[in-house]
Amino acid sequence: MAEEKKLFKVTIDNITVDVEPGTTILNAARLIGGEVAPPAMCYYSKLKGSGGKCRTCLVEVAAGSTADPRPMPKLVASCRTTVMDGMIVKNITSERVIDARNGVVEFLLLNHPLDCPVCDQAGECHLQDLSYEHGKEGTRYEFNRRTFKKHDLGEYIQLHMTRCILCYRCVFTADQLTNKREHGVLDRGDHSEIATFIEKSLHNDFIGNVIDVCPVGALTDKTFRFKNRVWFTKPMDAHRDCPKCSGEVQLWMRGEEVYRVTARKDEWGEVKDTTDGKPGWICNECRFEKKEARDWVIEGPSHIDRHSVISQGHYEKLVTPKDTLPEVMGGRPPKLIMDIHDVSEVNRPEIKLSEIEGPAHSDDFNQ
């Protein structure tokens, strides 16, 4: 008989869960969900080796394990620390953690420009959300922010190096999804920057995924840049038969127009698994070249779990008011008293507004 696997009990913010040995504190907290899960700006469950760079996921370990219940003296990165049986962890219940997180956000914002009003990532930026929760109103920083020479990452991807928080997610994406990594982090310390070697453009079918993993607006979609604010668009799940990727995407639409195509995201802002259980990375063709509604089979409004402005203003849970008229009419269809087209010339559908040069005037309708 197969031996039953022993699970570890870990208590995070007074909630106990059973997890497999080897699980990190962050993933254990994600099993509980909600506020108990620490924010993560560099860890990305689908990218091997990610995490340990940004320190936003710091937690306090109040008891190391049942065998050795001593607390850990320093706060630990929950994305890199694995649980022990009987471990007690504090996240939002620890003042030390909240204080440290506020400090990390202040640190991340030292060099990050406050250009949300013109940044395409605004509305779905993890740093923006984090600064609403942990940021300060003012800054104590008196020096000039970092500046960089412009780098061209090809026809589809825009790099704003000043916004980069050096989380390395894009480097891991390029490393693990493409067979020829052409970009990485160059230099060290505050000179570190994401750059392409000898300024090569990135031409790989899956390189567009760096846009989805970037937690800030450092890597954005050139085909969507400045076209619309993301909260005015309507996210819809859609798919197509794609020979290169799963073809399962999210369309960001306004009316019938497709403004942007991205991979589908889960509540942690990470690429969701597809219906066959594989990570749902999408190819460049689906992302950048299929911008017509007719290219896709639209499934319906996307469900957005993430607590962010993008979870507002879409139509998934639209409740239409009850149509009481047929009831009032005793089941009979409402009676059309008169058809406006029969009695008025105000509405003249044969006049095409888009063909009139300049603004339309009454003369245009009185010919």
Binding residues (CB under 6 A) for ligand SF4: these are 164-170, 194, 213-216, 218-219
Is residue 42 close enough to count as binding ligand FES by CB under 6 A? yes
Q: Which of 19, 25, 37, 77 binds ligand FES (CB under 6 A)?
A: 77
Find all residues with CB under 8 Å of 41, minimum gap 6, and list them: 54, 56, 57, 108, 126, 127, 130, 165, 167, 215
Q: Which of 25, 79, 236, 286 binds ligand FES (CB under 6 A)?
A: 79
d(C-alpha 35, C-alpha 91), whole Å: 9
Nearer to ligand SF4, 54 or 75 (CB): 54
As to burial, measured by CB atoms within 10 angstroms (0-12 exposed, 13-18 middle, 19+ buried), residue 331 is exposed
Nearer to ligand FES, 56 or 209 (CB): 56
Distance in angstroms between the alpha carbons of the first and the last residue of the chain? 90
Nearer to ligand SF4, 98 or 116 (CB): 116
Q: Which of 54, 125, 130, 202 binds ligand FES (CB under 6 A)?
A: 54
Is residue 213 close enough to count as binding ligand FES by CB under 6 A? no
Pair type for strands 8-12 and 15-19:
antiparallel
Nearer to ligand SF4, 84 or 218 (CB): 218
Which strand (E) or helix (H) includes residue 88? strand 87-90
Q: Which of 55, 151, 200, 222 binds ligand FES (CB under 6 A)?
A: 55
Residue type, 245: C
Is residue 51 close enough to count as binding ligand FES by CB under 6 A? yes
Q: CB of 44: closest distance to ligand FES in angstroms?
A: 9
Q: At 354, give phi and psi (nearest 5°).
A: -70, -15
Nearer to ligand FES, 51 or 217 (CB): 51
Q: Which residue has the tokens 């059973």?
A: 18
Interface map 277-296 toward ligand FES (x if CB under 6 A): --------------------
Q: At 234, give phi and psi (nearest 5°).
A: -115, 115
Q: CB of 152: closest distance to ligand FES in angstroms?
A: 28
